[in-house]
Structure 1
């Protein structure tokens, strides 16, 4: 594989998942770890990503408030506008992090009266713009890669709440394999978020459909709503048309 092809493949993974691990890229591209490290360094020098220990982060993920760097921004705005139709006054909402969730927060009605729990400091800052929204940031260890709080303390706090709705971004969604991820700690966190919530909506750009990663979060039957930028009857969503799942 030529270097340009490797770089294109790396950037596609970065744009889809916001972060990549060197070990995953080695396996995906069938090259040495040294080659991947050099590729990441070159891409970082060209200001295309942030190189971190063990992998790299998306520019849009690291700079969530810079609209110009958000990948698939138009699609995420469509998803955001669909997602807010699920939110009603008086609800208790739990959110994950990521650029799609931040776009959703930006679309909320100004007079919304609700309580939001979140594991994302960036989401909490955006929510602070709404005068009638109570914002509770669940604190713990902070993941520099995923940009959310995590760990046993966070999981204990989550187990004590019962939100009406969990709004969750995802790295990958597959009709058979369900929600999957690559980070063990984040994997446990997402499991707890789903388990403590009465209903869960997954916000997912269509490019992340039909992808399976190595760690299982939950089967698709544990999700009540799937929100993509596609029309609900789009052929790409045919495999997700199951009785327990409402597609928006």
Structure 2
């Protein structure tokens, strides 16, 4: 019989290895009840060893570099990327925010998918660098390697001169009542500017973003036309979205393969 300390260490190891775990799956793996796993997650969260979220837990901190984050949870991000791809029309000028899910999107786009793509991510621009029919524009500014993005006054000024048909904006946290949030003020300011200049706006949301404590709000959910969610998005969060924002178009990904 597994000791409680051994079970909790197994949970911490699984979170560090996989990035995100579900309480129901852990209960099956560790041959115990979901109630026991939820108590363990609560205690491990209080001890600062992981972050408890709806239905499970995630790593306390993201991977150290953008390059590492770009390779984390790739199957989930690719499914979200396919949902975002459906938002892009061939004649669009598309403003794509930096982020690992958007890099996954860039890797599946084809030349001619849009008239032009503008981004503050050098990695996204490089992924699209072979395009000839679709114009690729990289925004200037101060490069932040941890985020894989350019930010600052110069970036904001360039965005202010744009009139994109579609903005794809990254999300660090979702508060159904208050709106969308980012993890730092420079990032929030740029996302807010992207929403302001674009005719249509879409965002993809990983499940754990509904529980993220990102501090800097950048936009109301009313500003988003389409929200792409995972197939197993938290039911309570989805119900609240539909209740408070009936105008919001919710798209769900296909189910991830086991």
Query: TM-score, normalising length from structure 2?
Result: 0.70
Cα separation, 2, equivalents of 1:231 and 1:132: 36
Cα separation, 2, equivalents of 1:237 and 1:95: 25
Distance apart, 1:88 and its partner CA: 1.2
The residue number in structure 1 matching 2:186 is 185
Cα separation, 1, equivalents of 2:231 and 2:97: 22
The DSSP-based 3-state class of the residue aligned with 1:142 is strand
CA RMSD of aligned residues (A): 3.3
The residue number in structure 2 matching 1:62 is 67
Cα 1:211–1:233 change in 2 (3 A) is: closer
Distance apart, 1:184 and its partner CA: 1.2
Distance apart, 1:237 and its partner CA: 1.4
Distance apart, 1:86 and its partner CA: 1.1
Matched, 1:126 2:127: yes
Cα separation, 2, equivalents of 1:232 and 1:181: 20
Q: Deviations over 1:126-170 (max 9, x none)?
A: 111333211000011111222211111111110111101001121
8 Å CA contact 2:207–2:233 kept in 1: the answer is no
Distance apart, 1:175 and its partner CA: 0.8
Cα separation, 2, equivalents of 1:239 and 1:169: 21
Q: How many residues align?
A: 208
Cα separation, 1, equivalents of 2:195 and 2:82: 22
Q: Deviations over 1:1-46 (max 9, x none)?
A: x9x98x959x77xx58xxxxxxxxxxx9688xxxx9xxxxxxxxxx
Instruction: Describe how 1:174-213 pairs up with structure 2 within 5 A.
Output: 174-213=175-214
Q: Which aligned segments of 4 or more residues in structure 1 are displaced greater than 4 angstroms?
A: 28-31, 231-236
Instruction: Describe how 1:53-202 pairs up with structure 2 within 5 A.
Output: 58=63, 61-63=66-68, 70-202=71-203
Matched, 1:244 2:242: no
Q: What stretches of structure 2 of length at least 5 have no aligned partner?
A: 21-44, 50-58, 252-258
Q: What stretches of structure 1 of length at least 5 have no aligned partner?
A: 17-27, 37-48, 50-55
Cα separation, 2, equivalents of 1:112 and 1:132: 9
Distance apart, 1:233 and its partner CA: 10
Q: Deviations over 1:156-200 (max 9, x none)?
A: 110111101001121111211211123111111111111111111
Cα 1:134–1:221 change in 2 (3 A) is: same
Distance apart, 1:229 and its partner CA: 2.1
Cα 1:113–1:183 change in 2 (3 A) is: closer
Cα 1:217–1:30 change in 2 (3 A) is: farther
Q: Deviations over 1:191-235 (max 9, x none)?
A: 111111111111111121243422111121121111122279955
The DSSP-based 3-state class of the residue aligned with 1:103 is helix
8 Å CA contact 1:112–1:130 kept in 2: the answer is no
Cα separation, 1, equivalents of 2:191 and 2:134: 23
Cα 1:234–1:104 change in 2 (3 A) is: farther
Distance apart, 1:85 and its partner CA: 1.0
Cα separation, 1, equivalents of 2:75 and 2:133: 27
Cα separation, 2, equivalents of 1:180 and 1:113: 28
